[in-house]
Amino acid sequence: MKKSLIALAFGTLALGIAEFTMMGILPYVADDLNISIPVAGHLISAYALGVCCGAPVLILARKCALKKILLALVALIIIGNLCASVAPNYWVLLIGRFISGLPHGAYFGVASIVAGKLADEGKGAEAVSIMIAGMTVANLFGVPLGTSLSHLLSWRVTFLLVACWGAIVLYYIWRWIPNVSGLEDKGFKGQFSFLKKPAPWLILGATALGNGGVFCWYSYINPLLTQVSGFSDESITALMVLAGFGMVVGNLVSGRMSDRYTPGRVGMVVQGCICIVLLLIFFLASNPWCSAILMALCTAGLFAVSSPEQVLIIRVAPGGELLGGACVQMAFNLGNAIGAYMGGLAIVEGYRYPALVGAPLALVGFLLFLVFYKKYQKQY
């Protein structure tokens, strides 16, 4: 495996820990800051809002070297997580989470293009999946580690860990990423021209609604597992490892399948399966074994659609690849924010109800993917 792709994956590893650890440590943060679980859920939304605000700014750096953009984005990762680690109250932590989210979408956008340029012929989707693999490894090891550290020491240590890892990422991107050729500058307006076509909107809509459906449930996975499925607090770390394992497998298999069967077909099939799994979670969450298995399947699906979405948006955004690559992460995190909010509302009825609310969102995501596959896949 190329060192350059590993360096890119190191960056998504940092982003993955910063984003997804919050789901596992939500109760610890809520207790420490004397806020409710639904209010603590706004910290998830703050990160997502940062992603949505940070990604469009990327077009202002369209003339810069891709490597320099990556280094600047990693510096923001360090700053945001340092701020979160020392936050004295809820509002400062909210700001820290927002800053941490600013580089997220932009990093994925730039890293996807760099990975494509560094990939061997016919291996573009697999190269992007390797870059995204850092995010899945974060859920396999980083998130459980963060959850465990929060349980044993403090949730602040988790964000400090991300900041320290960010410094390591900064070094390896500087050392291992070559100065790849930049993109043709088609002007400010040219960056947005791809949005005049329906194909990108279908991908972005499927991403936002599909992932929103998953995050309705996943944002509150900790209380679901402990209060509905009956798992102990001590077992949450192991369960987060299982969820991360599903993400790793789903992402890597999806990358290879996308090169073989087209990203549109893979994304469509996986999104349909996610809808079914969310419904099964609602009905079977009280059974601990069923709940654990369905959790792994759903998290596998979450990242099995990520590589196809990231590859497709770049293909349908000629002249605006930087913005397109960032926009799909905006859509992902917009869905994250919507899902966390809607899931918080559904908790009033019980911790299994967020999955039920998420199922129709996932269904609409599947329908949008279906339309894209039927009408536009052959063009890309």
CATH code (residue 198):
1.20.1250.20
Q: Please, what's the b/e burial string for 282-304 (b: 16 or more CB within 10 A of its CB; e: otherwise)? A: bebbeebeebbbbbbbbbbbbbb
pLDDT tens digits in sequence order for the chain, 380 residues long = 578 888 999 998 999 888 878 877 888 888 888 888 778 878 887 887 888 788 777 777 767 778 888 999 999 999 999 988 888 888 988 889 999 888 988 888 888 888 877 766 666 677 888 888 888 888 777 777 877 887 788 888 889 989 999 999 999 998 888 877 666 666 667 677 788 889 999 999 999 999 899 989 988 888 899 999 988 888 887 888 888 889 888 988 888 888 788 888 889 999 999 999 999 999 999 999 999 999 999 999 998 998 888 888 888 887 777 778 778 878 887 887 788 888 888 888 889 999 999 999 999 999 999 999 888 877 66
* Residue 135 to residue 148: CA distance in whole angstroms: 18
Residue 47: what residue type? Y
Write down the pLDDT at residue 187. 65
* pLDDT score recorded for residue 1: 57
Closest by Cα among 169, 197, 199 to 78: 169
> How is residue 98 written in tokens?
């927002």
- CB-CB contact of 336 with 44 (8 Å): yes
Q: Which amino acid is at 340?
A: A
* Residue with the two structure tokens 């980083």: 142
Residue 262 DSSP one-character state: -
pLDDT of residue 121: 67
Tell me which residue range forms the domain holding 172.
3-379
The predicted-structure confidence for 25-46, as pLDDT tens digits, reads as follows 888 888 888 888 778 878 887 8
- The conformation of residue 179, written as its DSSP 8-state character, comes to -
User: At which residue do the structure tokens 């497709």 appear?
Assistant: 312
Report pLDDT for 63.
73
pLDDT for res 207: 92
pLDDT at 361: 94
> Are 169 and 184 spatial neighbours (Cβ–Cβ below 8 Å)?
no
Q: Which residues contact 222 (CB under 8 A, 6 or more apart)?
A: 23, 24, 26, 27, 236
Q: How many domains does the chain have?
A: 1
Q: What is the pLDDT of residue 29?
A: 85
